[in-house]
């Protein structure tokens, strides 16, 4: 992670095998991170990547999703370290709060999606219900196929905005690009999706 570029480079993939960092005070390290100190962030990463992954894993259970969310948490720590206020609690607690919030947000997002699917069959399943479910499944396949026609940057932005539930400003912060760029990227991506799926919006 040497020479980390804050605009394009994200922390290494977190997981249970990362070594613990030195015994430096996380609060002091975060103060350095807020000033763009890459070495300090690497130490924060080494100290907290394991605990962050562990907490997220307890909430999500799925290893792949847990690694994804832990990655986002550490990226948010890098970008928002200046928001840490030592008067309100420890640095570790601040980071773990971010981790818990993101994990819960993912659970809620998936729960909402599952609820929407259950509403398709509120009572006894009829032939019409089955037809609707098949059509919905086909629509999902079409969406996945059409997402594959987008550029990686467009697909990433669209997924964050429309699947993960982030606002455009939040997507801009997560990806480290200007809000105007995100709006253009998502607009162009949605146009390509519309054309691919052959629907009128």
Percent of the chain with pLDDT over 90: 27
Q: Give the pLDDT of residue 189.
A: 83
Query: Which residues lie closer than 8 Å to 57 by C-beta, 6 or more apart?
Result: 63, 66
Model pTM score: 0.48
6-63 pLDDT, tens digit per residue, is 443 444 444 444 434 456 889 999 999 999 999 999 999 999 999 999 999 998 888 8
What is the model's pLDDT at position 114? 64
Query: Is residue 179's pLDDT more than 50?
Result: yes
**The pLDDT value given to residue 192:** 83
Q: What is the pLDDT of residue 28?
A: 93
Domains in the chain (CATH in brackets) are: 1-119 (1.10.1740.10), 124-201 (1.10.10.10)
- Confidence band for 73, pLDDT divided at 50, 70 and 90: very high
Identify which has the larger pLDDT, 177 or 7: 177
């Amino acid at each position: 992670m040497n020479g980390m570029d804050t605009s394009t480079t994200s922390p290494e993939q977190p997981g249970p095998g990362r070594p613990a960092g030195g015994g430096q005070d996380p609060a002091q390290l975060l103060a350095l991170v807020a000033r763009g100190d890459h070495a300090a962030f690497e130490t924060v990463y080494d100290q907290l990547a394991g605990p962050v992954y562990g907490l997220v894993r307890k909430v999500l259970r799925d290893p792949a999703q847990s690694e994804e969310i832990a990655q986002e948490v550490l990226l948010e720590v890098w970008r928002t370290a200046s928001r840490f206020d030592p008067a309100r609690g420890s640095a570790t607690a601040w980071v773990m709060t971010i981790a818990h919030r993101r994990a819960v947000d993912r659970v809620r997002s998936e729960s909402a999606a599952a609820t929407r699917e259950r509403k398709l069959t509120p009572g006894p399943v009829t032939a019409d219900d089955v037809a609707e479910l098949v059509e919905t499944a086909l629509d999902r396949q079409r969406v996945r196929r059409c997402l594959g026609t987008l550029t990686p940057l467009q697909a990433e932005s669209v997924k964050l905005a429309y699947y993960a539930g982030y606002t455009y400003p939040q997507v801009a912060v997560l990806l480290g690009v200007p809000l105007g760029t995100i709006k253009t990227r998502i607009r162009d991506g949605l146009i390509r999706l519309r054309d691919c799926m052959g629907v009128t919006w």
